A and B are shown apart, each in its own frame.
Chain A
Amino acid sequence: MADFFLQALGQVGSPMVLALITIGVLFGIIGGCIPGFTVTMAILVVFPFTFAMDPVSGVSLMVGVFVGGYSGGLVSGVMLGIPGTPSSITTVYDGYPMAQKGEPGRALGIGVAASFLGTLISVAVLVFFGPLIASYSMKFRPWEITSLIVFALTLVAGLSNGAMLKGLLAAALGLLITTVGYDRNSNLRFDFDLPALGSGFEILPVMIGIFAFSQLMGNLEKLRDDKSDIKEVNTNVEIPYRKILLDMSRQKINTLRSSLIGSLVGALPGTGGTVANFISYDQAKKFSRHPEKFGTGTPDGIVASEASNSAVAGGAFVPTLALGIPGDLPMAIMMGVLILHGITPGPLMFEQNPVLVGAIYVSLLIGAVIMVLCQLLLVRWFAKISLIPQQVLVPVVLMLCAVGAFALNNNLFDVWVLFIFGILGYLLWKAEVPLTPLILGVVLGDNMERQLFRALELDSSWLTFLTRPLSALFLALAVASLIFSLYQNRKIRLQALATKGGDA
């Protein structure tokens, strides 16, 4: 392990790659601190720039965006009282009140320190559990992999707030999109006599179209419906380093607990920073000796929130690298980056591309250090940047999406794919269909079909999926996740009815 780690350190330590990580971190923080822009959008915008890079440079740049993005939401949360990303919602609960009390520098400093420690702990989790899970999953055969993909999709679909049927529909649609064009046997499917459809859809324009258009148009609609005034921001921030060190020295257990929660939640499909954020904040409050101080500007709340959402970055890499199954949207895009560079994430990656795996570890660590330096030195600028209006941002991002889609294969058809799937994504979003299962379906579709037919070629009986213990376990978990989701939906409906009755 030490060998490939040192090799990775050598590659990532080159000035060029360090510069790319710094650019990635800066862009990630900017993306994270602009309300409504999100980490995922920052990753999508940066992604096309990796096309011409070697795998280590491309992955390092993207890791930089991850690390910066998860910590960027802190700035607008503290300075404006608006979470830059959904994963920093609970940061606002205590960060903003602390800033309002005249201590924005302290709130930002605590948040940055917690983000840094959260990232470090999550890298430790990744380094320990990644190879362990990967070596165990080497035993997986096509039946287990197929069942695992089914489980991942049902879990993500089931977690779509009260919209399980639509989540499942979205997952099936995502899988269906991958069946267009020539298949593994060179048979043409669903080309509708259009030659351009013969080669199928590239994953990236589909993903970018579905996500970016719905998100950006949604932001515009929100802007249209929300007539509240633009907040003024005081960018005169002083960081009280001594006080922050003292604060952090009292937060050791909270930091560790929140980081572990973030890493664990990040490793589960369909969850991500938002869920980690809330669970960790809730746990910190329960374990605190002064729960009444939460929400009034206590350091405990900021630490719980920021350590957990930053720890998601390392945790989310575990299933992506070890199993080839991304847990959330940013990871689905990260998987797209790896596939684009000819690397198939999964158990074999640890054997076939150990240096690249090491480069991810090292980039996460270096990214965390750069993030701290950037946040502390440039926080005033980030606060100003967070005020960039959506009216300027939306056309620029759409243009970059179009250029990125074109640059993938120097093919204008991909820009059309982006546009068509942009319309489809927007319409589905308007119909309240969750888009994450759809995108995961698109990413996992090819592998699922390949594994399903490999299983059937080895043993023609469908019952084998149920007679192999691990495969049966994954399918049972898939069913259990749906039953749990049904139960949750019913509970939410009954609560809504009770509230309605109470109001009447």
Chain B
Amino acid sequence: MLMLTKDRALALAMMLMAGIMLVESGNIPPPNSWQPYGSALFPRILLVVVGALSLLILIRSLLAGARRADTPRRTFPQWLAHNRTVLGLFLLFGLYTVLLPLVGYIAATLGFLIVAFALLMGIDTRRKWIINLAVSGILVPLVYVIFRFGLNVWLP
């Protein structure tokens, strides 16, 4: 049975993206007398290159066969547990992006930093809590002051 390796997943994802964008490139205004090459030519050249390279990666991967993984194969829950820190941080950053315009820089950033430190360092000792709150509490207003008064940038 064919396995979905990293290279195959990459090649398939890129070919899918190139296909969608090629279809979408049909919406770009066509060439005319004063634009003989049109605006779609350059991206279409690139999409063909992306598609061709992806196809080569796929063929090479199929010819080479599935490489035996260096790390043991994991079930989805095991994989989730193994990568919980990285996934958690991505999720947290997404949430931070959503909350930034809603609750403002100070509250959103303070929340992001405290939860992110807790996720990465843990909260099992008093020392970790102190580091967490001290770094968050000092850094958030400091960055605000530098940007607002030093650089004249209004943060949300």
Contacts and interface: CB of A to CB of B under 8 A. Distances in A.
Interface in B111-156: 112-113, 116-117, 120-121, 131, 135, 139, 143, 146-147, 150-156
Contacts of A189: 25, 28, 39-40, 43
A425 to B, nearest CB: 12
Contacts of A419: 93-94, 97
Contact of A412 (B24, B101, B112, B120): B101
B96 A396 contact: no
A183 B37 CA distance: 13
Given A187-B39, A189-B28, A395-B120, A403 B147 contact: yes
B-side interface mostly: helix
A220 B151 contact: no
A185 B35 contact: yes
Interface in B70-95: 85-86, 89-90, 93-94
Contacts, number: 142
A189 B21 CA distance: 10
Contact of B156 (A220, A400, A412, A433): A412
Interface stretch (A27-35, A108-116, A161-169, A258-266): A161-169
A187 B29 contact: yes
B37 A220 contact: no
A392 B121 contact: yes
A415 B113 contact: no
B85 A224 contact: yes
B28 A188 contact: yes
Contacts of A412: 97, 100-101, 156
Contacts of A166: 10, 57
Given A165-B57, A220-B120, A395-B117, A403 B155 contact: yes
B151 A400 contact: no
A431 B28 contact: no
B120 A165 contact: no
Given A168-B53, A398-B93, A431 B10 contact: yes
Interface residues of A, number: 56
Given A220-B85, A220-B120, A51 B42 contact: no
A172 B24 contact: no
A176 B135 contact: no
B117 to A, nearest CB: 6
B120 A394 contact: yes
Contacts of A351: none
Contacts of A190: 21, 24-25, 43
Nearest to B122: A391
Interface in A382-396: 389-392, 394-396
A403 B143 contact: yes
Given A165-B56, A395-B120, A176 B46 contact: yes
A410 B154 contact: yes
A224 B85 CA distance: 9
A415 B53 contact: no
Nearest to A395: B116
Interface stretch (A226-234, A240-248, A301-309, A448-456): A448-456
Nearest to A450: B42
B131 A179 contact: no
A169 B54 contact: yes
Interface residues of B, number: 57
A423 interface: yes
Majority-rule SS of A interface residues: helix
Contact of A176 (B40, B47, B85): B47
A292 B154 CA distance: 59
Given A52-B153, A407-B147, A412-B100, A192 B29 contact: no
Contact of A52 (B105, B131, B151): B151
Contacts of A410: 153-154
Contacts of B150: 52
Given A398-B116, A456-B37, A432 B42 contact: no
Nearest to A217: B86
Interface string A248-277: 000000000000000000000000000000
Contacts of A165: 53, 56-57, 60
Contacts of B57: 165-166, 169
Nearest to B128: A391
B119 to A, nearest CB: 8
B151 A172 contact: no
Contact of B131 (A390, A392, A456): A392
Given A187-B28, A391-B117, A430-B6, A415 B153 contact: no
A349 interface: no
Contacts of B89: 217, 220, 394-395, 398
A185 B100 contact: no
Given A394-B120, A395-B117, A431-B9, A452 B35 contact: no
A396 B97 contact: no
Interface string A430-449: 11110000000000000001
A399 B56 contact: no
Interface string B1-39: 000001101100010000001001100110000011101
Given A179-B43, A412-B97, A456-B37, 14 more contacts: A172-B50, A173-B14, A176-B43, A187-B29, A188-B28, A192-B24, A217-B86, A217-B89, A395-B117, A398-B89, A419-B97, A426-B90, A431-B7, A433-B10
Q: Which 3 pairs, one residue from A and one from B, show the smallest C-beta to C-beta distance?
A: A395-B116, A391-B120, A187-B39
Interface of A: 49, 51-53, 165-166, 168-169, 172-173, 175-176, 179, 183, 185, 187-190, 192, 217, 220-221, 224, 389-392, 394-396, 398-400, 402-403, 406-407, 410, 412, 415-416, 419, 422-423, 426, 428, 430-433, 449, 452-453, 456, 460
Interface of B: 6-7, 9-10, 14, 21, 24-25, 28-29, 35-37, 39-40, 42-43, 46-47, 49-50, 53-54, 56-57, 60, 85-86, 89-90, 93-94, 96-97, 100-101, 105, 109, 112-113, 116-117, 120-121, 131, 135, 139, 143, 146-147, 150-156
